[in-house]
């Protein structure tokens, strides 16, 4: 199973094996990794699963669609490498992916 590295805002790192086809958000929620709230359960409707994707991995992700784009626009302190983690599907290509959580989802 691909391993995803989740890094909390305080630097605490979680290396989690996430089943193929789950989202990066689900990998965090299923393992109680703090910092990803996912209030809407993955409908890309709430902007509370915001992560910063390590720039080295950014090119391997499909670009955000319009709905995700508008979520990113309003996420607190979003930047060029911001994504909604419910929209990133885990694949073998993403084995080793590094994402960092913001200080707060609001």
Partner 1 sequence: MSDTSEHIVIVGAGHGGGSVAAFLRQYGWKGRITLIGDEPVPPYHRPPLSKAWLTGAADAASLALRPANFYTAQAIALRLSTRVAAIDRGARRVMLEDGESLDYDRLVLALGSRPRKLDLPGSGLAGILELRSAADADLLEGAIGPGRVLAIVGAGYIGLEVAASARSLGAGVVVIEREARVLARIASPPLSAFFETHHRRHGVGLELGAMVAGFEGIGGRVGLVRLADGRAIASDAVLVGVGGVANTELAEAAGLDCRNGISVDQASRTSDPAIYAIGDCSDRPLPLYHRQARLESVPNALEQAKQAAADLCERAPPAPEVPWFWSDQYDLKLQIAGLPFDVAETVQRGDPATARFALFHLTDEGVVQAVEAVNSGAEFLGGRSLIGKRRPVDRGRLADSTISMKEIAA
Q: Is 79 in the site for partner 1 (CB under 8 A)?
A: no
* Binds partner 1 by CB under 8 A, chosen from 7, 71, 88, 101: 71
Among 5, 14, 16, 46, binds partner 1 (CB under 8 A): 46
Min separation Cβ 69 and partner 1, Å: 9
Instruction: Pick left, alpha or beta for residue 33 (phi over 0 → left; psi -120 to 50 → alpha; otherwise beta).
Output: beta
Binding residues among 13-32 for partner 1 as defined by CB under 8 A: 29-32
Tokens 């960092």 locate to 100
Q: For residues 50 and 53, which CB has a smaller minimum distance to partner 1 in the complex? A: 50
CB 17 within 8 A of CB 97: no
Query: Rounded to 5 degrees, what angle do the CA atoms 21, 23, 28 make?
Result: 130
């Amino acid at each position: 199973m691909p391993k995803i590295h989740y890094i909390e805002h305080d630097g605490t790192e979680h290396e989690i094996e996430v089943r193929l086809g789950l989202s990066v958000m689900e990998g965090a929620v299923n393992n109680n990794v703090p910092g990803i709230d996912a209030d809407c359960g993955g409908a890309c409707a709430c902007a509370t699963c915001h992560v910063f994707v390590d720039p080295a991995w950014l090119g391997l992700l499909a670009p955000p669609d319009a709905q995700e784009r508008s979520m990113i626009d309003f996420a607190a302190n979003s930047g060029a490498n911001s994504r909604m983690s419910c929209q990133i599907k885990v694949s073998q290509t993403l084995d080793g992916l590094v994402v960092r959580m913001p200080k707060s989802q609001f």
